[in-house]
Amino acid sequence: MEQKLIQGSKQFLNALGEVDQKLELLQSHILDMRVSCDEAEAQLKLTNDASKSLLERAGSLREQRQEVEEKKSIVTLFLARFTLNEEDIVALTSRDVPVGKLFFEAMDKTEQIRRDCRVLMAGEDGPTKAGLDIMASTSSYLEQGFEKISRWCTNEFRELGRETIIDVTPTLQEAIKRLRSRPELLTEVLSMLSQIRQATLLSSFITALTRGGPSGLPRPIELHAHDPMRYIGDMLAWVHQTIAAEREFLEGLFGLKSDGRMVGSIRRFDYRGEEEEWMQELLDLAVGKLCSPLKARVLQTVRSQESSIVSYKIANLLQFYMVTMHRTIGEKAIVSETLKETTEVAYKVFHDAVDAQGRSLMRVPLDPDDPSLTPPPPILEHAQILREIMTVYHSSMLGDESNVGQATGFQDISNAMVDPAIEMCITSSAQKKQIRPKWDQSVFILNCLCYLQDTLDIYPFTSGKKEHVRSVIQERIALLIQEHFADLLTKAGLQALYQTCEACPVDEPLSHAPGAQPPEVKVALQKFSAWLSSPEVVQSARLSHLTAQRLHAQVHQAALGRLAKAYRRICDEVRNPKNRYEAGSTLLGSERPFGQAHLLWQIFGLHEDAGDDDGDQ
């Protein structure tokens, strides 16, 4: 049993020893493993350390790549925004791309780039190199673009400028608008346009003057050179119409909407935009070129007129156009200046003609064999010319003149026409009177003056001259009243008696004076009484030759009034005891009107006061 136990134990021991061995093996394995593990771990750690920097590097690379990507897109965007692409450059510089939409877009883009770039460079860091580069390159392209526009415009004008009327295309309008930012190019282009327009309008004008339309219609203006009004009118109308068309062309060129104003109506010159200045200058130069042929022809026509009326019509026509031009293109325009000069010359020619007319009138002597007292033919002809001149003056009114202005405007003409006529009537009639003493000069002068007054009476603007003529007439009436009174006094037989009354010295009785002694007084009163029954009391044969009937009455009544006063004076003197008439009242009472002056007033049909007034005048 023991044995068995020992054997068993032995076996157990063996088995355990085996186990122990195995365990030991295992342990050594484990140890090995551990070492390996440690190694591996160390290795791992090492590796780990090593790869960490790699990872970091990879990460940073990735970041860098991202940054670069971003930068790249920014740069692309930047480049797209700040540089011109190939197409743009071609559009700007090449002859192959026409000036048009593409070209203008490229221009716009270039300018946008420059604007943006300027904003960028205005930052704190100051101008960058890229910025400067961009500015430099775009600047060159932009200038090429402007050069291209200006060359194109020059070409365009060279082609189109020869047409009489030009239609402005939107492209041309746009081109000019863009050139506004390059004044030197614009000036160059417009100067060329101006020269072409000057030549074109001048040659059209000459064609219209000398050749007319094709196949002769409309007829050349010069065909009517014999009709001065039509000739000058047609030329000026042509110029006026050309101005309107040219102005429309320029408004189109500068893209100005017409202000809806009618040409010919008053233009306000207070607003002066740059375009407006350009337009005025171009218009002025283009149309100004027409002045020299226009002026030569107008002046030639003006100077070759013989009739003062035609001269006057021409002067008025020129003035009408001068006013029209002042209102449409201003007073400073060359055409306006030329019209002003020619108008002045035309008026000078007219005034000279009128002066000559006046002088020649004064040289005409009156026919000494002609007994008539009516205005003579030279005066009638002269008045007819005056009448026609007045009609022309009246029709030249624009309707906006004041009455005073109208009268002032006519003053020179009326002086030049009427004064010589008045003088001629007076001086020539004095000469005639010397040759033909019985001829009634006073009535003749009054008849002539009244005729002139009636001639002036047609229009209100002659009021100043009419007043003058009226005052001359009044002087002449006063003289005639004096003459007529003396006539009446003689015819009535009171002349000697009245003169003695007037001349008698105070200290001597009148009845002692020769010519006023009682028998002489009696004879005079008898004669006066007889005269009172004659028709002369009612109407004077002499005054019946006055063409103005109211003057007849006026003069006659005034003279009668004086006669009545003379009679009263005589009565007073005869009744006055100082004059020592015996029975003075009886002497007076023996003949009509019986020493009663108021009866005489009644016979004459006058009021005493009125008679006084007229007599005093």
Residues that bind other proteins (CB under 8 A): 94-95, 97-100, 148, 151-152, 155, 159-160, 163-165, 167-171, 173, 204, 207, 212-215, 217-218, 229-230, 233-234, 236-238, 240-241, 244-245, 248, 252, 257-258, 260, 262-265, 317, 320, 324, 395-396, 398-399
Q: By the 8 A CB rule, do 465 and 389 touch?
A: no
Q: By the 8 A CB rule, do 546 and 446 touch?
A: yes
Q: Which is nearer to other proteins, 83 or 391 (CB)?
A: 391
How many Cβ atoms are within 10 Å of 439's Cβ, its own excluded?
18
Q: What does the alpha-carbon distance between residue 234 and residue 337 come to, in Å, rounded to a whole number? A: 19
Q: Which is nearer to other proteins, 95 or 129 (CB)?
A: 95
- CA torsion through residues 601, 604, 605, 610, sign: negative
Tell me the closest approach of the beta carbon of residue 224 to other proteins, in angstroms.
10
Tell me the closest approach of the beta carbon of residue 387 to other proteins, in angstroms.
16
Q: Which is nearer to other proteins, 154 or 374 (CB)?
A: 154
How many Cβ atoms are within 10 Å of 195's Cβ, its own excluded?
15
Q: Which is nearer to other proteins, 322 or 473 (CB)?
A: 322
How many Cβ atoms are within 10 Å of 583's Cβ, its own excluded?
11
Q: Which is nearer to other proteins, 388 or 612 (CB)?
A: 388
Tell me the closest approach of the beta carbon of residue 207 to other proteins, in angstroms.
7
How many Cβ atoms are within 10 Å of 369's Cβ, its own excluded?
8
Could you write out the DSSP letters of every residue in 407-432? HHHHHHHHHHHHHHHHHHHHHHHHHH
Tell me the closest approach of the beta carbon of residue 100 to other proteins, in angstroms.
6
Tell me the closest approach of the beta carbon of residue 72 to other proteins, in angstroms.
37
Q: Which is nearer to other proteins, 252 or 615 (CB)?
A: 252
Pair of tokens at residue 583: 């029975």
Q: Which is nearer to other proteins, 172 or 481 (CB)?
A: 172
Tell me the closest approach of the beta carbon of residue 159 to other proteins, in angstroms.
6
Tell me the closest approach of the beta carbon of residue 164 to other proteins, in angstroms.
7
State CA 374 to chain mean position distance. Answer: 47
Angle at 593 between CA 590 and CA 595, to 5 degrees: 70
Q: By the 8 A CB rule, do 604 and 565 touch?
A: no
Q: What does the alpha-carbon distance between residue 383 and residue 421 come to, in Å, rounded to a whole number? A: 9
Q: By the 8 A CB rule, do 314 and 268 touch?
A: no
Q: Which is nearer to other proteins, 8 or 218 (CB)?
A: 218
Tell me the closest approach of the beta carbon of residue 213 to other proteins, in angstroms.
3
Q: What does the alpha-carbon distance between residue 585 and residue 575 come to, in Å, rounded to a whole number? A: 6
